[in-house]
Amino acid sequence: MIRALFYILLVAGLALLFSWFAENPGQLTIDWPGYQVDISLFRFAVAILIFAGIAYFIITLLTRIFGSPRRLRRFMNRRRETKGYAALRRGIFAVGAGDETTAARYAVEARRALRDEPLTMLLDAQAAQLSGDHRAAQRLFEAMSENPETRLLGLRGLFLEASREKQMVAAEQYAARAMQLNPSLQWPVNALFDMQCRNRNWQGALETLAIARTHRHISRQLHDRRKAVLLTAQAYDIEDGEAGKALDLAQEAHRLEPNLVPAAVIAGRIYSSQGNTGKAARVLAKTWQYNAHPDLAIGYAYARPGDSPRDRLDSIKSLIVLNQDEAEARIALASAAVDAQDWEEAREALKPLHENLPTARVCALMARIEGGQHRDAGRVREWLARAVRAPRDPVWMADGVIFSDWQPTSPISGTLDAFEWRVPPDRSERGDGKDMVDEFAALSRDMENAALPNVGERDEADEIVEEEPLTITIAPNQEEKAAAAVSDEKDGSKAVVVVTDIETIQPASETEAKAAEPDANFEDVADVEDGESVAAAQTESPEEAVEEATAATGQPQPPRKEPKIFVPGRAPDDPGPGSIDYDDDSTPYTRYRDSLKTQTS
């Protein structure tokens, strides 16, 4: 609007000027040697304008004629650049789409058209990666790392190539160079931190963590958590050789993250070894308020060396007051009471836990209580069988794998602070029996050390009957049947569980599998007397069965093996089979009998 108004005013001014010249023409005399020219002022002005226009036209024409090669060269360069950038754009699109042939073609076109453009090397490197030529990609990234404009881009490419080739030392060096050039970039800081943690370079990881916090790559809360874990890892490694330094590191970790159980356990253990029971108790009790963990209870109970089991029970009572609503508090109290042989208090502590759906640890403790208080083998085996099928207790897990102890990094992925104290997946979700076998073996060892030695003891008036133990081998997919066999054994004899690791069980041959199957003419187990072999209830002997099979097939058959199932005799306190209703389908006996019939059919 302002420009249009300016043009209007300019035209109006010129019109007024020429109008004034026309009304006042004046007279201009030019006296040149030998010549005299008289002309009006208006005509002279018009002649000057015409002359200026002709001169401008001639000069412009000559400039265009003599400058045409330069303009032509500029036009060709501009056209080539336009074509090169178009090829570069299409090549990047082809790389993103995964079209290696098109990407390679456009990479060549872009390199020819744009000789000094650094982006062409990036397109060449990406096309080489897409086609699988990683050596060419590495050379291109090395060339890019020498260029100041593309140095960081080349280092990132070299880092990715080294990581792909599992050359972690070279990858760590590239990440360190990139972080030195530009610490504000997040990828080199995070990559270097992860590799330092994987290599257990705790001091280097702490320095990298400080750089990450300085440039705000992580939050304050995450920084404190990671720093506490790294300090705990350092204390964990040097606790045996440098207890004083390990204590300082554990204290700093405990200050940053009071709910970190390993830091509190290490600090409490070192304080206890130095005889500083009060500080050990304060550190463990503070963490117990945030996280009721069994390691804290154990450390608190044994904070003062030389205490009797009764003293440890009193210590646990003072600890669980801080967090007595947790289930772990009741389990810790029950464990201490069992060690002190205070069976009633242990039973009372576990009462709210085993009334609904007790976990495996609760069932194992109840088995110890029954074995220590009542010395009843039947109740002990019942609680052990329930422990096998009970919900699982929290354990240390990292990347879906169960570990016995906490570690600063995951042995599988190397991730820092990957361990979690949580309940593992249910057995039905895992689909295998390995974990059940391990739990049953652990419970068996626990009972062997605690309750089972008391099971065989009787009053002097009772007669001790030594029976051959019932041997049960747990194989894949047979855990529930083994547990049912243990729980259904109502007599007073011992049950010895032989746990066979799944990996060591070899598949049986076809002949052995057929020989191990129950016979089709298996009669009701109710007719078998105590102590007899099940094979005695068959209608034909194994020799007769082999002869019939040989006659039917015309080929010699291997001898048939008898099923070796031992039925132990009754204990003195067993009422005998007369008290069992064999028609009641809910009794353990009928369930076991029906399972045998199902296998036979």
- For residues 227 and 114, which has the higher predicted lDDT (pLDDT)? 227
Contact 91, 127 (CB under 8 A): yes
Q: Is residue 148 one of the residues assigned to a domain?
A: no
In a domain, residue 122? The reply is no
Q: What confidence score (pLDDT) does residue 284 get? A: 94
pLDDT at res. 577:
39
178 located within any domain: no
pLDDT at 128 over 80: yes
The domain tally of the chain equals 1
Cβ-Cβ contacts under 8 Å for 94 (sequence gap 6 or more): 100, 102, 103, 106
70-123 residue pLDDT tens: 888 888 888 888 898 999 999 989 998 999 889 899 998 998 888 888 888 889
Mean pLDDT computed over every residue of the chain: 76
In a domain, 164, yes or no: no
Distances (CA, A) of 447 to 390, 450, 495: 16, 5, 12
Question: Nearest 5 degrees, angle CA 364-CA 368-CA 374?
Answer: 135
Does residue 552 lie in a domain region?
yes
Cα 94 to Cα 118: distance, rounded to the nearest angstrom = 18
pLDDT grade, residue 482 (50/70/90)? very low
> What would the two tokens of residue 146 be?
């020498």
Domain range for residue 530? 519-571+579-601
pTM (2 d.p.) = 0.62
Q: Which of 53-62, 66-75, 296-305, 552-561 has the lowest mean pLDDT?
A: 552-561
Within a 13 Å sphere around the CA of 448, how many CA atoms are in the beta-carbon half? 10
**Site of tokens 């296998």:** 599
- 254-284, pLDDT tens digit by residue? 999 999 999 999 999 999 999 999 999 999 9
pLDDT score, position 282: 94
CA distance 198 to 407: 12
Q: Is it the case that residue 469 has pLDDT exceeding 80?
A: no
Q: Is residue 539 part of a domain?
A: yes
Q: Is 458 helix (H, G, I), strand (E, B) or coil?
A: coil
If we measure between CA atoms, which residue out of 352, 338, 288 comes closest to residue 318? 288
Note whether residue 476 is domain-resident.
no
Q: How far does CA 95 lie from the centroid of its chain?
A: 32
Whether 535 maps to a domain, the answer reads yes
Name 521's Cβ contacts closer than 8 Å, sequence gap at least 6: 538, 539, 540
pLDDT of residue 433: 44
